[in-house]
Amino acid sequence: MISADHLRAESLYEDSARDAVFHTPERPAWHAMAACRGVGANVFFEASNYSAARELCKRCPVARDCQTAARSEIFGVWAAESPRQRRSRRRASAPL
């Protein structure tokens, strides 16, 4: 199992870089408890790291909040969901 500390140590980017990617300079309050605090964006946005990202998300106490907030995100792993999984979920819940 990959630990959050290991991912933080391996990360290439700081939180500020992720803020630039997400275009969210202000984080929601729930993010203070996120398992990915301090883990670089490369873990969540490079397909080769998706399994490590999912592993971290599955242990995250705020995954539900994250899933709701990330519903329309196009790129990256959020709440253990790949872009494809999010797209499928959006289609499934879209009005006909």
In residues, how long is the chain? 96
**Near ligand SF4 by CB under 6 A: residue from 7, 36, 43, 52:** 36
User: Is position 57 an interface residue for ligand SF4 (rule: CB under 6 A)?
Assistant: yes
CB 2 within 8 A of CB 51: no
Structural Rg of the chain based on CA atoms:
13
Tokens standing for residue 30? 């729930």
Q: DSSP letter at 49?
A: G
Report the residue number, 58 or 90, with the smaller CB distance to ligand SF4: 58
Q: Is residue 63 a contact residue for ligand SF4 (CB under 6 A)?
A: yes
Does 45 engage in binding with ligand SF4 (CB under 6 A)? Answer: no
Binding site for ligand SF4 (CB under 6 A): 34-36, 44, 56-57, 60, 62-63, 66, 78-79
